Amino acid sequence: MAEQTTAEQGLRIGWIGAGRMGAQLVTRLLKAGYDVAVYNRTAAKAQPLVEQGATLVSTPVELADRDVVCVMVSADADLEQVLTGEGGLLTGTSAPRCIADSSTVSTGVSERMRAAAEEKGAAFLATPVSGNPSVIAAGKLTVAASGPREAFDRVEPVLATYGRGVTYVGEGEVARLVKIAHNVMLGVVTQTLAEVTVLVEKGGVRRADFLAFLNDSVMGSVFTRYKTPAFVNLDFTPTFTNVLLQKDFDLGLTEGKRLGVPLPVTSVTRNIVAQEVGSGNVELDFASLLLTVARGAGLDIRSENAEVGDGLEPESA
């Protein structure tokens, strides 16, 4: 379906933000047959995409003639910079038909950027994703989208190339709330998983054995399987850092206050993550919360050097 739509519509895609995730998603778009032009703050990092067929531009505004421009940057200030800052996408005389923004940012900034886009005649979709580079490689990335339904219907085939699922969740900024809620749960589950894993290890059970049991039970999930190698073998190569997790907890608590929803477990876990950041744990994967729980329990935790899978076998073609 997506390949037919590509051939029929011939949509020209712009991409802003070719980091670890963005670069992989651009690769998927190129393989699907899309004409893609890319802007990245550090141009050299986008060179491998040029070798795959992408066009490289030096400023975001050079993408204004594209049908759809996809954005994936790190934070509120970054999104404002690439859209309305000097040389930003919306600073020229024209604008793309649609902007699909996958950055994890606040609803307030998203609202301002939506208004700026609409003033230029561009539809604006919030399109946050769930996953990381390994999830993308396995074809299991999912997307939540909100904004004008007509724009979503036009862009859905583009988003469908990202992975296995695209869900339209409503108008306005609600997709931002969906992603923030997702990441809050991500942090709370990881802290809980760290606590119970240390609990059973201190009681004499190997982490590999406990997680094998858990992953086969009704409590197991794609996420617990994915984090099993990190927990068992203490490999904390970053997929998502505590710095980013703290940001998302803060966004979640802000939304809770705005909507009048108490989030006591979120608040406690946020403080644990903030202590990690304050103590210098800013580069390791957030699964390293396991180490802090172990230290608090007086447990000398070590790699079990076990062969365990992450459950991310690629989807069959």
In the predicted model, is pLDDT for residue 6 greater than 50? no
Higher pLDDT, 209 or 74: 209
Which CATH entry fits the domain spanning 177-296: 1.10.1040.10, 3.40.50.450, 3.10.20.30, 1.10.3720.10?
1.10.1040.10
pLDDT value for 168: 98
pLDDT value for 7: 37
- State whether CATH 3.40.50.720 applies to domain 2-172: yes
The structure's pTM equals 0.86
* CA–CA distance, 288 with 269 (Å, rounded to integer): 14
Q: Where are the domains of the chain?
A: 2-172, 177-296
* CA–CA distance, 30 with 12 (Å, rounded to integer): 11
In the predicted model, is pLDDT for residue 15 greater than 50? yes
| pLDDT tens per residue across span 175-195 | 999 999 999 999 999 999 999
